[in-house]
Chain A
């Protein structure tokens, strides 16, 4: 039956009752908008984090004391070198440096500029920097957030770090890291290994942790066990476990959000059910008339459901497009603050546009399936209106 005449007729019907339909449309669109915004943000963050994680080294070992991480002996790197199947062993020095006046802190990363980095992101960063300049004297690379903070406190070219030993070390700003690596370097300061050790209070033979890669995925369990047995105070973690823990975090947040959303959805469905159950006598007469004109119940049902589905689909499309614009063009003001939580620095985050079929189908299932379910019975009840209503 779905010929042009049908759609023409349907459009005219919808237009006639537009006041009733517009209210439903607006409400539905709002719901989808909210839903898709949250899911888009979530998918985008997840994607970014996965990408970031990909660039991370496979394994990290560190020393623990009383269960907490403590300075790791550099000698352990040599022990690692003896194990077959390990590559790119990189000792790392990093830590938080606190600016007591402002109670802000930044991440200091000590790096051996001459070595290849296990962290691909870092490697890329360094390739774009002027190494010669960095190695001459006490220089550092700082992130955008750091730059802003230092400038606000009138430190334009250099800063005097206070070491735990009570000494002051002046370090010059060599370069500000580009904004595109925001997630990575926003509140980070990159400096030579030895310098970092000094500022963070490590001995020359101490580092924060040691990273390495294991190219063969089947060997991960093997090597992990081997290394863990080297020292009683050695802790080893790998990339997959980190990914898993992120997943769990997302699932938790996701579950929480879903519970809240379901309450909202339930209210919406109730409203929908009520609205479609309200059958005006004019509508009854119209359906009666259609039946008198030879329309079968099936055909009336098709008409009524086409009406509903059209609105559902329209709301879905509008809501998703609005959500896309809001998250990926406007960077989701308000919502992003809720998502990212309290950070110690103002983080201007751009969401990478990530639109997956999975996200869209999830939105569709959460919204469209309950909506259509809610209106099936009311719409049927209208469609079976006795044809004799037309005679009245």
Chain B
């Protein structure tokens, strides 16, 4: 179990997560207390105290949101750096799949960020309302986030303590390649159809965004993200690496590719998170206040599609052929 012997980065990461977890635990205690007795209409000094405590929660959650985001980047970098120790791993892809906890951990992290963005907007609306209208919803969402974070922490520790440095892992070519001839693409698509759908769904997402059709927007954006992932790994990525057999979502995070991976994944996920949250807010909350900016969502998603598309285009322009 301790074969990894915990490089400094991993220790710092785990320590940081623990501190945040502790802070969140304190906040959770406070939220529970004030939620149970919250009564906006009452005049008692206790209620006023509760409203003051609510500000503590807001501050803590904002801080945690910023830190979780930074820690995600740090986590990505740490995983990548660990590839030296794990036999067979050439980049983060191999390390993440070193045991069964890696991928769920990553997925959970993204989910938590998504929920935190939602909480952030809920909080914004709550403060702007004259009677703390969203206080209950905000607090319940906070509790959900707390539970997820606890799970995340458990996964953090379990994942890192179960990386066996003596066990070879598959690197991305085995994980994403077509070794056995089976088609790794979803729905049995081929690359061309995948790309057509990719661009179509992008267009649909933008359209439903502009036409203010949130109910259509959510599934189209979700599907877009799903297809974007595959498109990145099986098409755009190969142009970033300029190698038709190099299929990997993580290698593009490395310095030799100018860290473009961070930009691409960031714009895809944050853009989608904001967009989906926007749709949720329009559908189920009172949208009388400022919504997550539509321009930002469009901008981020377009940036993602634009930059990703540039790679194959530039390659073709330079070499006259596709890969």
Which residues of A pack against B, CB within 8 Å?
A: 42, 243-244, 247-248, 250-252, 254-255, 258, 262, 297-298, 301, 305, 357-358, 361-362, 365-366, 369-370, 372-373, 376-377, 380, 383-384
Contact = CB atoms under 8 A, between A and B. Distances in A.
B74 A361 contact: yes
A42 B4 CA distance: 19
Given A251-B8, A376-B60, 12 more contacts: A42-B8, A243-B84, A251-B5, A255-B8, A365-B12, A365-B16, A365-B70, A369-B16, A369-B67, A373-B22, A376-B56, A383-B55
A contacts with B: majority SS: helix
Contacts of B5: 248, 251-252, 255
A376 B59 contact: yes
A42 B9 CA distance: 13
B56 A258 contact: no
Interface in B1-46: 4-9, 11-13, 15-16, 19-20, 22-23, 26
Contacts of A305: 59
Contact of A377 (B11, B13, B56, B127): B56
A270 B55 CA distance: 23
Interface residues of B, number: 32
A383 B19 CA distance: 23
A255 B6 CA distance: 7
B204 interface: no
B23 A244 contact: no
A365 B74 contact: yes
B contacts with A: majority SS: helix
A362 B59 contact: no
Contact of A247 (B19, B20, B70, B85): B85
A369 B19 contact: yes
A211 B20 CA distance: 50
A297 B8 contact: no
Contact of A362 (B9, B56, B63): B9
A250 B70 CA distance: 25
B246 to A, nearest CB: 14
A301 B55 contact: yes
B39 to A, nearest CB: 19
Contacts of B6: 251, 255
Given A247-B85, A377-B56, A380-B56, A372 B63 contact: yes
B260 to A, nearest CB: 15
A255 B9 CA distance: 10
B319 interface: no
